[in-house]
Amino acid sequence: MDEIQDEIIEEFSVFDDWLDKYDYLIELSDDLPAIAPEHRTDSYKIHGCQSSVWIDARMEGDKIRYTADSDAIITKGIIALLIRVMDNRTPQEIIDMNLYFIDAIGLSANLSPTRSNGLAAMVKQMKLYAVAFSGKTE
């Protein structure tokens, strides 16, 4: 997990200003695994986000697999980063995870307050899925 976060930090370190970082986030939105159309409903919607964001999680073996979508491309790039770090991990790994890359790349400091709230809501939901799945595997 730390290796992936360190890769992200390195990728963002080549950009000097936040406009370039936003452009990179937009590029990353293309890498987001597609969410099934039936999961673009209120049941999967993240509340607290300015834009619409849907996240689904399922267990494959002992690992959680995430899919997501958003109607805003920067938000879509942010969720693509979160999935890159948190996807294909055990529930306990996700529960214990320290997402230090968010501060290290300056993401939380350069988002609007509503986008920061949305980021926190996305992380919280992904961790809640992990908590729910950890209870089912015990």
Give dist(CA 138, CA 125) in Å, integer: 20
From 49, 86, 119, 123, active-site residue: 49
Residue with tokens 């200003």: 17
Residue 49 catalytic? yes
Residue with tokens 């209870």: 135
Give dist(CA 88, CA 25) in Å, integer: 21
5, 84 Cβ separation under 8 angstroms: no
| 112 Cβ contact partners less than 8 Å away, ≥ 6 residues apart | 50
* Side-chain half-sphere exposure of 124, counting CA atoms within 13 A: 11
* Side-chain half-sphere exposure of 94, counting CA atoms within 13 A: 29
What is the set of active-site residues? 49
